[in-house]
Chain A
Amino acid sequence: MERDAGRSMFDTDELVINMGPQHPATHGVLRVVLKLDGEKVVDADVVIGYLHRGVEKLTENRDWTQIVLLTDRLDYVASAAANLAYVETVEKLMSIEVPRRARYVRTILAELQRLASHLVWLGSHAMDIGAITVFLYCLRERELILDLFEEYCGARLTYNSMRIGGLPQDVPSGWLPKVLRFCDVQEEKLAEYETLLTHNRIWLQRTRGIGAITGQAAIAVGLCGPSLRGSGVPRDVRKDEPYAAYDEIPFDIAVGANGDTYDRYLVRLEEMRQSMRIVRQAVEGLPEGPVMAKVPRLIKPPAGETYHANESPKGEIGFFIASDGRSTSPYRLRVRPPSFCNLQALPQLVRGHLVADVIAIIGTIDIVLGEVDR
C-alpha cells in the first residue's frame, strides 16, 4: 500500500505486446513477448520453436555423408560454415588427415561464407534501423559471393559443399582470379557502406550505448562470436583452436570496447576486412595436390564420441557426435548453435531500453531462426 502511494493517482498497467512470430523485424519466426511500461521494455520473454524440424533426430536415420545436407539447413545464410564444422567433427572421430589443398579451399569457402553472412546481417540490421539502401547494397555484393559458390558447387544457398575427408571437387579453372577480383570490389563497397553508416549521427544515436553488455556478463550468459568480441573478449575459435588452414594464415581478431550495438557493428565490419585478408592469402598460398583424402566408401566411424567447434559467422558452432561403431548413421548428433546461445542474452540486453531498441538489439545479435530451432 505504502509503496504504491505515489502511483495511486494514475492507474498504470504494463502493456504486454507480442512481437512476432509474424513480424517484419524478428528475422524469421521468432516471438518476443514484451512487457512495456509506456515505450520502455520492462521484461522480454523469447518464445522459440516455430521452425523446429527435428534436424538432430533426423540425422539418426541418415548415413554420415547425407548429414552434410542437413547441416545446410541449420543456418541457411551460412551453410558452408555448418558443413565445415560437421565434416571436421566426423574427420576428427575417424582421424582422417585432410589434404592441405582441401583445407585451404575450405578456408576460402568458409571466409566467403562469413562475408556473405555478415552482408546479410549488415543489410537487415541497417534496414531495421531504417536505412533501406544499405540492405540493397549489401545484397548486391552478396549476390557476387553466391555466384562464386554457384560456380564452385552449383548451389546458391544450401551448398552441400564439403565431403568427409575433403571436398567434392577441386576449384574450377579461372575461379580463383574471380575470388580475388571479388575481394577488390568488396573492399570498395565496404567503404561505401561505411559512408552511409559509420559516422552518421542518427546511426550513432541509435546504436551507441544500446544493448551494452560487459565482457564478464557476456561470458556468463554464453554469448559467442562477434557479439562476444564486441564486448572486448578476444575469443575466436579460429585462433584458439585452429582448424582448416587458419593456423597457417595470419589475421587479426577484431574486438570492441563497450559491448554495445555500435561496437558489435564495428567488429563485424572489421571481421569482413579480415575475411578478405584471409581469402587473399589463402588464394595466393593455395598448395597443389589432391582435395580428397582416402576415405572408405562407406563411412563408419569407430565407436566413440567427440565434440568439435568452428567459428561460424554467428559464433561458435559445434557438433557433438556419438557413434556406436556398428551402424552407418550417428547414434546421437547434437548441434551447439551459436544463434541459440546468443539469443538467450536478448532479455538481458533489452531490459530498460525502448521498443525501437529491441529491434536494433535483435539485429545486432545476428540470429538465424533455422539454427535456433533446428
Chain B
Amino acid sequence: MIDLIVLPLIKIVFVLTGVLITVMYLVLLERKVQAWVQARLGPMRVGPHGVLQPIADVVKLFVKEDVTPVRAEKWVFTLAPIIVLVPSLIAFAVIPFGPEVNLFGRPVPLYITDLNVGLLYIVSVAAIGVYGIILGGWSSNSKYPLLGSLRSSAQLISYELAVTLTFVSVILAAGSLSMVQIVEAQHANGVWFAFVQPVALFIYGVGALAETNRNPFDLPEAESELVAGFHTEYSGMRFALFFLAEYTNMIVVSAVATTLFFGGWLRPFPNVEWLSFLGLVPAWIWFTLKTFALLYVFLWIRATLPRYRYDQLMQLGWKWLIPLAIANIVVTAAVKVILGS
C-alpha cells in the first residue's frame, strides 16, 4: 500500500514542486546570465540581487487580467496552454534523479517510476505538446499567432524526428529503453555516452534547442517578426502556462541529456577508485549540477547567436541532422555487431 500509492504520491509532489521552483528560478537565472554576458546587472530591485524577482513575477501574472479575444474559440483557447504544459510536466515521471537510497529504513528509488520503455514514453509525451501550440495559435483567430503556430508545429515535428533517431543509437549502445538501465549501462561501461556517441549528442543538442524553441531556433516566437508567435493573444495566467511549459521543456531536455549522455546521477569517472571521494556528494546533486550545466549552455547560446530563418531551419533539420542521425545509427549498429561477434 505504502509502496504503491503513498510513496509515489510523495515523490510526485516533491518533483512537481521542485520543478516549478526550478522553473521560476531558471527564469531569473536566464535574465542574470544574459545580463552578465551583456555587461549589465539584470534584476536587482526585488530582494538582494533580485532573488525575489520570480515571486514578484508570479504575483504579477496572477493579478493580470486574463483576456480572451472576442472571436477566439473559447474552449480550445483555454485548453491549449494546459495541453502544452501537462506533457512537459509528466515527462519527469521517468527521469531518474538518483539510484535507490535508504530512507527511514526503507529502500526508496529516487525516481517516480522506472518504465521499461521510459525513453519511448518521453518521446511520445513530448509529442503531445505540439497539439497545444497548434490549437493555441489557431483558436486565437488572429494572423500572427496562426503563422507562429504553423511554424512551430512544422519545426517541432521535423526536429523531433532527428532527436528520436539519436535516442535509437543511445538505445543500441545501452541495450535498454529504461532510463535507469541506460544510466547503469554507462556505469558498467565506465564512460559517459557523450564520449561513445558524440554525434548523437551533437544532433540531440541542436534538436533540443529547436524543440524547446530556443535561440537560434526560436522562430515560433520570433519577437521581431511575429510579435510573440503562437501566444500573442494570451495574457495573464494562461500566458504564464505557456511560459512555464517552455522552461519546463528546457529542464526536461537537459535532464534527458544528462541521463542519456552524461551519466545521469553518476559521479564523474564512476569507476576510478581514487576519485571515490566524489561519491560523498549525493547522487541527486550530481544530477542537478549536470542538468544546470546544460541549462547554462542553453542560456549561453541564446545570448550569443542570431536567429535562423524558417526555411534554413527546415533545411538544417531535414538535409543534415536526420541523415546524419540515420548514418549514426547504422555505424553504431555495425560496431555493436562487430564487437559482439
Tell me the bound Cα distance from A356 to B308 in angstroms: 9
User: Within residues 161 to 212 of chain B, which ones have a CB less than 8 A from any CB in chain A?
Assistant: none
B147 touches A39 (CB 8 A): yes
List A113-159 residues whose CB lies under 8 Å from chain B. 126-133, 136-137, 140
Give the shortest distance, in Å, between B305 (CB) and chain A (any CB).
6
| A86 to B92 alpha-carbon distance, docked (Å) | 66
Does B224 sit at the interface, judged by CB under 8 A?
yes
Task: Convert A188-223 into 0s and 1s, putting 1 for each residue whose CB lies closer than 8 angstroms to a CB of B.
Answer: 000000001100101101100000000000000000
- In this assembly, does A180 line the interface, its C-beta being within 8 Å of a C-beta of chain B? no
**Which size bracket describes the interface of B in this complex?**
20 to 34
**Shortest distance between the CB of A52 and any CB in chain B (Å):** 25
Contact check, A136 vs B38: say whether CB atoms are below 8 A apart: yes
A171 at the interface (CB under 8 A from B): no
Return the contact of B305 from the options A140, A200, A357 (Cβ within 8 A): A200
Q: Does B19 make an interface contact (CB < 8 A)?
A: no
Residues of B within 8 A of A132 (CB): 34, 38, 302-303
CB pair B224 A127 closer than 8 Å = yes
Q: What residues of chain B lie closer than 8 Å to A127, measured between beta carbons?
A: 224
Contact B304 A356 (CB under 8 A): no
- A359 in complex: contacting residue of B40, B144, B225, B302, CB < 8 Å: B225
Stretch of A17-25, A54-62, A102-110, A300-308 contacting B (4+ beta carbons < 8 Å): A17-25
In the complex, B102 has a CB within 8 A of chain A: no
- B306 CB contact (under 8 Å) in A131, A137, A355: A131
Task: Check if B341 is an interface residue, CB within 8 A of chain A.
Answer: no
Closest approach, in angstroms, between the C-beta of B308 and any C-beta of chain A?
A: 6
- State the CA gap A355–B307 with chains docked (Å): 13
Main secondary structure of the interface of B (DSSP, over half): helix
A64 to B320, CA, bound (A): 64
- Which residues does chain A contribute within 8 Å of B218, judged by CB atoms? 130
Tell me whether B34 and A206 are in contact (CB under 8 A): no
A356-B38 in contact given A126-B306, A130-B215, A130-B306 (Cβ < 8 Å): no
Question: Does chain B have a CB within 8 A of A15?
Answer: yes
> In the bound complex, do residue A17 and residue B143 qualify as a contact, i.e. CB atoms below 8 Å apart?
yes
Given the known interface contacts A24-B224, A25-B225, the answer about A356 and B216 at a Cβ–Cβ threshold of 8 Å is no
Cβ of A354 within 8 Å of any chain B Cβ, yes or no, is yes
**Which residues on A sit within 8 Å (CB–CB) of B34?**
132-133
| B224 and A354 within 8 A (CB) | no
User: B38 to A129, Cβ gap below 8 A?
Assistant: no
> In the complex, what residues of B have CB within 8 A of residue A25's CB?
223-225
A206 and B40 in contact, given A132-B34, A355-B225 (Cβ under 8 angstroms): no
Task: Give A134 to B31 CA distance when docked, in angstroms.
Answer: 16
Q: Give bound CA distance, A354 to B309, whole Å.
A: 9
Q: Could you tell me the distance between the alpha carbons of A356 and B219 in the complex, rounded to whole angstroms?
A: 9
How would residues 22 to 56 of chain A score, 1 for a CB under 8 Å from any chain B CB and 0 otherwise?
01110000000000000100000000000000000
Q: Is the CB of B309 within 8 A of A133?
A: no
Contact, CB under 8 Å: B310 / A133: no
Contact B143 A130 (CB under 8 A): no
Q: Are B305 and A131 in contact (CB-based, < 8 A)? A: yes
A130→B307 contact, CB < 8 A: yes
Write the chain A residue with the least CB distance to B146.
A15
Instruction: Give complex CA distance A359, B225 in Å.
Output: 7
The distance from the CB of A197 to the nearest CB of chain B, in whole angstroms, is 7
Provide the residues of chain A in CB contact with B308, threshold 8 Å.
Answer: 202, 205-206
Q: For A25, A197, A202, A359, which residue has the most chain B Cβ atoms within 10 angstroms?
A: A202
Residue positions of B touching A, CB distance < 8 A? 34, 37-40, 143-144, 147, 215-216, 218-219, 222-227, 302-312
Q: List 19 A-B contacts (CB under 8 A).
A: A15-B143, A17-B143, A17-B144, A39-B311, A130-B222, A132-B302, A132-B303, A136-B39, A140-B39, A197-B306, A205-B308, A205-B309, A205-B312, A206-B306, A354-B310, A354-B311, A355-B226, A359-B224, A359-B225
